[in-house]
C-alpha cells in the first residue's frame, strides 16, 4: 500500500473507527485526549500528604568524594529526609546488562550529573533549596573522554574494576585480507543524540501497609525496573509493585532507571507519598543518550560493482556506565555491512567506559551508527565506479536465503531490491526554479537569507537492515492474561499485560488482536502493572511481535475453553467452530448461539506466554552464529535537499520511504511510525547533537539542543509492502526503528550529492558545508 496523505475523517466516520480488527485502522483510545491536552501523564500524578523529591548531582565528570555534610539541609524548614549512599537499604548497585551503576555515588563520581544525595520536602522549591545546603567536598580528577584511547591505552586509569572496555566483538568471514579492483575508505563520526521525549522523567511512590511500596512511573519495562529496585531496597520483589503511568515519549531513554529507586527510598524513609519530576536540564543529565561513534570503514569491489570485502573498526562511547553498550556492540558488528552480499568481512567493535555522559538505548540501537557509515561508503564506491548508486545497492542486495556475515541464513523475505525500486519510482518534487522563487521554500525560509543564489539541489538514497527483538540467546517472551465475560448483555474481553504503551499504539494493537481472535467488539485494556507476568521492554521494535503473540495465544486459549463448552452443549466438533460478531458459528450448521448466552454468568480467563525462536550468541572470536537475530527489518529512503552553499543551510524538500512491515496490523499506525522515525533521522542528519566538552554537557535545553518541528518536516510518500515472516504471529515485522536508521544517511548522501563535499560527521552543521568554524 502507498500512503501520501490520510483522508480527512468526518464525525460520521468516528463511530465506525472505534472498533476494528487486524488490518483496520481504528482510532486510538488515547489519541483524542492527547490532542486536546487532557491525557494524564506521570507528571500529573498526585496524592494526599505528598512530599516532593529532588536529587543532588555531581558538577564534575570525574572526582573523588571526600565528604558529604547533610546537616544544613536537614535543618532547613520543610525538609523531611536527606539521604546518601549510606541510606540505601539494599544493594547500592544496579544495571540493565551489567550491575555497575551506584544508586547514589559512593566515594567517586564518574560523570557530570551523577546522583549523590536525595531530599524530600513539602514543596519542590523547598527541596531545591535544601539541595543547595548539602556540602560535598570533591577532589577533581582528570576525565577520560576519548573512547578510542580508552580502548587501547593501558596507561589510563581504570574507571571500573574490569577495565575500560565494556565489550569487544570481532566478526570474521571469508578472507579478511582479500584485495579488490576498486577501494574506498574513510573515517566517520556520529555525535551524541538525545531521545528528546517531551515528557520528562516523573513518578510517584506510595509506602504500603505491608512494608512495601507502590510506584507509579513512566517507563519502558516495568518488571526489569521492579527487579532492580527491589534489590536496592532490600525487599522481596512482591513488595515492590509498579504501575504504568502516562508516558510522554521514550525512544529508549526510559529503559534505564532514573528516579525509580530514589523515589521509593524517600517514600519508605518518610512514610509518605513522594513525587519526583525532572526539569528539562536535569532530564538531559538523568537519562542515557545515543552512543557517539567513530568508525573506520574500507570497502573493496570488482570493476563491475560486486562487493569483495568490507573491513571496519567501530568505537562506541558508552560513557560512565554500561547500560546497553554490550548490545550496541553486538548489533553494530552483526549489522555493520548493511543489507548486502559480502563474501569477505572483518569487523571489530568496541564499547568503552569514559567519563562522558552515560549512553544506552535509543531508537535503532546499534544500527544507526554503522548505517550512516556503510551507506556513505556505498555512495563513494558508486562514484569511484562511475555507477548509479541505486544500481550498485541493487546489485549487491541480500534476499531470502542469503547468508549474512555472521553465518545466519535468512529464512524469511528480505525484499531489499524491491524497496530500492519502489522508493526510486516515487515521483520527484518539481525543481521550482523555472518560475518565481518563494523564499519560504528555500533554506533559511522566511528569514530571507537567500533568493536562490548559492542554492543547489541534491538527491540521496539509503537502504538498511535492522534486527528485531532481543538476540544472542535471550529468552525473549511476553505474558498476556485475557478474560472473556458477559457484561450488561454484551460479550466483553479484558486484556492484561505489562507491556508499556509509550506512544506507539500498542493498546490499539492489543484490542485489534482480541477483536479478531474472539469475535467481540468491546475490548478493555487493563492498566499495565507488575501483577501479571513480564512483557519485556517496549524497545527493539518487539511489542507487536512478542506481546501481540502473547495476546493471540491467550485469546486462543480462551476460545479453546469456550469451544469445548459449546461442543458439549450442541454436539459440534470444536474444530468446526468460530467466533464472529458476538456469536458462535459452526461451519456445518451456521450460527449456534449468542456468545453472551454461552457465557452466562461465567468468566473465562487464561494466561499465556509467547516466546520467539531461539537465538544464539556471537562467537567471541569469529563472530559467527547460526541465528544471532530472530528477525530483520528493511527500509529504504530517498531524500531531496536544497543546500545554501554560502551559509551552510539545508532544507529537506522531500523525504520518501519504502518499508517492508510483514503485516500491517494497523496501517495508519504503521505510517505514523514511519513518519515519526523519519523525523528523528532527519534531526540526526542536520541538527541534533549533545555538545560535550571535557565530559560536560554544554546544551542541556531545548533552546540549544534543536529537534525538528513541523516546519522542518518535508512532504513524505510512504510505500508500505507486506512480505510476511513465516516465523512471527500474523507475519508481522518490527516497524518503529528502521525508518530512523535509513533517513539519516539518505539526507547526508543528498547533501553530498548537492555539494560534492566529503561529509564524514553527522549531524551536518553549517560549518561543514561552508567551511567556517564557529568562534
pLDDT above 60: residue 16? no
Cα separations (Å) of 430 from 434, 458, 640, 658, 678?
A: 9, 13, 11, 20, 22
Q: How confident is the model at residue 770 (pLDDT cuts 50, 70, 90)?
A: very high
Q: What is the pLDDT of residue 1?
A: 59
Q: Are 553 and 609 in contact (CB under 8 A)?
A: yes
Question: How confident is the model over 445-451, as a mean pLDDT?
Answer: 88
| Rounded distance between C-alpha atoms, residue 538 and residue 249, angstroms | 11
**In b/e form, how buried is each residue of 426-450, taking b as 16+ CB within 10 angstroms?**
beeeeeeeeeeeeeeebbbbeeeeb
DSSP state of 234: T
First-last CA distance in the chain = 49
Burial of residue 10 (number of CB atoms within 10 Å: 0-12, 13-18, 19+): exposed
Q: What is the pLDDT of residue 10?
A: 33
H-type alpha helices, 93-221: 124-133, 147-152
pLDDT above 80: residue 250? yes
Q: What is the pLDDT of residue 529?
A: 98
pLDDT tens-place string over residues 161-217: 999 999 999 999 999 999 999 999 999 999 999 999 999 999 999 999 999 999 999
Higher-confidence residue of 8 and 202: namely 202
Q: Are 650 and 507 in contact (CB under 8 A)?
A: no
| Rounded distance between C-alpha atoms, residue 320 and residue 357, angstroms | 6
Q: Which three cell numbers stand for residue 233?
A: 531496597
pLDDT tens-place string over residues 555-571: 999 999 999 999 999 99
pLDDT tens-place string over residues 624-652: 999 999 999 999 999 999 999 999 999 99
Q: Which residue has the cell 560536560?
A: 696
Question: How confident is the model over 303-319, as a mean pLDDT?
Answer: 98
Q: How confident is the model at residue 772 (pLDDT cuts 50, 70, 90)?
A: low
pLDDT above 60: residue 19? yes
Q: What is the pLDDT of residue 445?
A: 86
DSSP state of 61: S
| Rounded distance between C-alpha atoms, residue 474 and residue 675, angstroms | 30
Q: How confident is the model at residue 11 (pLDDT cuts 50, 70, 90)?
A: very low
Amino acid at each position: 500500500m502507498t500512503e501520501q496523505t490520510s483522508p480527512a475523517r468526518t464525525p460520521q466516520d468516528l463511530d465506525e473507527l472505534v472498533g476494528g480488527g487486524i488490518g483496520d485502522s481504528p482510532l486510538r483510545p488515547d489519541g483524542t485526549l492527547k490532542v486536546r491536552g487532557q491525557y494524564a501523564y506521570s507528571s500529573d500524578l498526585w496524592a494526599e500528604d505528598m512530599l516532593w523529591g529532588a536529587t543532588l548531582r555531581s558538577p564534575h565528570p570525574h572526582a573523588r568524594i571526600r565528604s558529604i555534610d547533610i546537616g544544613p539541609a536537614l535543618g532547613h524548614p520543610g525538609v523531611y529526609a536527606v539521604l546518601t549512599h549510606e541510606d540505601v537499604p539494599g544493594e547500592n548497585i544496579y544495571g540493565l546488562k551489567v550491575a555497575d551503576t551506584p544508586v547514589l555515588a559512593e566515594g567517586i563520581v564518574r560523570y557530570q550529573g551523577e546522583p549523590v544525595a536525595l531530599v524530600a520536602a513539602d514543596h519542590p522549591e523547598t527541596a531545591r533549596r535544601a539541595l543547595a545546603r548539602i556540602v560535598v567536598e570533591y577532589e577533581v580528577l582528570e576525565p577520560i573522554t576519548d573512547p578510542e584511547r580508552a580502548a587501547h591505552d593501558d596507561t589510563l586509569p581504570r574507571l571500573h574494576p574490569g577495565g575500560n572496555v565494556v565489550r569487544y566483538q570481532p566478526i570474521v568471514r571469508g578472507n579478511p585480507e582479500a584485495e579488490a579492483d576498486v577501494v574506498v575508505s574513510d573515517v566517520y563520526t556520529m555525535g551524541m543524540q538525545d531521545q528528546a521525549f517531551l515528557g520528562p522523567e516523573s513518578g510517584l511512590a506510595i509506602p504500603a501497609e505491608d512494608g512495601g511500596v507502590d510506584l507509579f512511573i513512566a517507563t519502558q519495562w516495568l518488571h526489569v525496573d521492579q527487579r532492580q529496585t527491589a534489590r536496592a531496597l532490600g525487599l522481596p520483589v512482591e513488595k515492590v509493585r509498579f504501575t504504568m503511568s502516562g508516558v510522554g515519549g521514550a525512544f529508549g531513554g526510559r529503559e534505564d532507571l532514573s528516579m525509580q529507586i530514589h523515589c521509593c527510598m524517600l517514600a519508605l524513609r518518610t512514610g509518605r507519598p513522594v513525587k519526583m519530576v525532572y526539569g528539562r536540564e536535569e532530564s538531559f543529565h538523568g537519562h542515557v543518550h545515543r552512543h557517539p561513534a567513530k568508525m573506520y570503514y574500507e570497502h573493496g569491489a570488482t570493476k563491475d560493482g560486486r562487493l569483495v570485502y568490507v573491513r571496519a573498526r567501530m568505537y562506541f562511547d558508552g560513557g560512565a556506565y554500561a547500560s546497553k553498550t554490550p548490545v550496541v556492540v553486538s548489533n553494530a558488528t552483526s549489522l555493520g555491512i548493511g543489507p548486502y552480499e559480502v563474501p569477505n568481512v572483518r569487523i571489530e567493535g568496541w564499547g568503552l567506559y569514559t567519563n562522558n555522559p552515560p549512553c544506552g538505548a535509543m531508537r535503532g540501537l546499534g544500527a544507526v551508527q554503522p548505517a550512516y557509515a556503510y551507506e556513505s561508503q556505498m555512495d563513494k564506491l558508486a562514484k569511484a565506479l562511475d555507477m548509479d548508486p541505486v544500481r550498485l545497492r541493487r546489485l549487491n542486495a541480500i534476499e531470502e536465503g542469503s547468508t549474512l556475515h555472521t553465518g545466519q541464513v535468512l529464512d524469511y523475505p528480505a525484499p531489499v531490491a524491491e524497496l530500492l525500486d519502489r522508493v526510486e519510482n516515487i515521483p520527484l518534487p518539481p525543481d521550482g526554479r523555472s518560475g518565481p522563487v518563494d523564499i519560504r521554500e528555500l533554506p533559511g525560509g522566511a528569514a530571507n537569507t537567500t533568493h536562490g543564489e548559492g542554492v543547489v539541489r541534491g538527491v540521496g538514497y539509503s537502504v538498511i537492515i535492522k534486527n528485531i527483538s532481543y538476540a544472542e540467546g535471550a529468552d525473549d517472551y511476553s505474558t498476556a492474561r485475557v478474560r472473556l465475560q458477559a457484561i450488561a448483555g454484551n460479550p466483553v474481553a479484558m486484556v492484561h499485560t505489562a507491556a508499556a504503551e509509550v506512544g506507539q499504539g500498542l493498546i490499539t494493537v492489543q484490542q485489534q488482536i482480541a477483536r479478531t481472535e474472539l469475535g467481540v467488539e468491546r475490548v478493555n485494556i487493563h492498566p499495565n502493572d507488575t501483577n501479571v507476568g513480564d512483557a519485556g521492554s517496549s524497545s527493539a521494535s518487539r511489542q507487536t511481535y512478542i506481546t501481540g503473540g502473547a495476546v493471540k495465544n491467550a485469546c486462543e486459549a480462551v476460545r479453546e475453553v469456550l469451544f469445548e463448552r459449546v461442543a458439549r452443549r450442541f454436539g459440534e466438533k470444536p474444530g468446526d467452530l468460530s467466533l464472529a460478531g458476538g456469536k458462535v458459528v459452526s461451519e456445518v450448521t451456521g450460527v449456534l448461539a449468542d456468545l453472551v448466552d454461552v457465557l452466562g454468568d461465567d468468566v473465562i480467563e487464561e494466561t499465556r506466554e509467547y516466546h520467539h525462536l531461539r537465538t544464539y550468541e556471537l562467537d567471541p572470536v569469529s563472530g559467527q552464529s547460526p541465528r544471532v537475530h530472530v528477525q530483520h527489518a528493511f527500509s529504504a529512503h530517498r531524500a531531496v535537499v536544497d543546500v545554501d552553499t554560502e551559509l551552510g543551510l539545508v532544507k529537506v524538500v522531500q523525504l520518501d520511504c519504502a518499508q517492508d512491515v510483514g503485516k500491517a496490523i494497523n496501517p495508519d499506525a504503521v505510517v505514523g511510525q514511519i513518519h515519526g522515525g523519519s523525523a528523528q533521522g532527519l534531526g540526526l542528519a542536520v541538527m541534533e547533537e549533545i555538545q560535550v566538552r571535557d565530559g560536560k554537557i554544554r546544551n542541556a535545553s531545548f533552546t540549544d539542543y534543536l529537534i525538528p518541528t513541523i516546519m522542518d518536516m518535508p512532504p513524505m510518500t510512504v510505500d508500505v509492502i507486506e512480505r510476511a515472516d513465516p516465523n512471527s504471529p500474523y507475519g508481522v515485522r518490527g516497524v518503529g526503528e528502521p525508518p530512523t536508521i535509513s533517513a539519516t544517511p539518505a539526507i547526508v548522501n543528498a547533501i553530498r550529492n548537492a555539494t560534492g563535499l566529503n561529509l564524514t560527521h553527522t549531524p551536518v552543521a553549517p560549518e561543514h558545508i561552508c567551511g567556517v568554524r564557529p568562534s
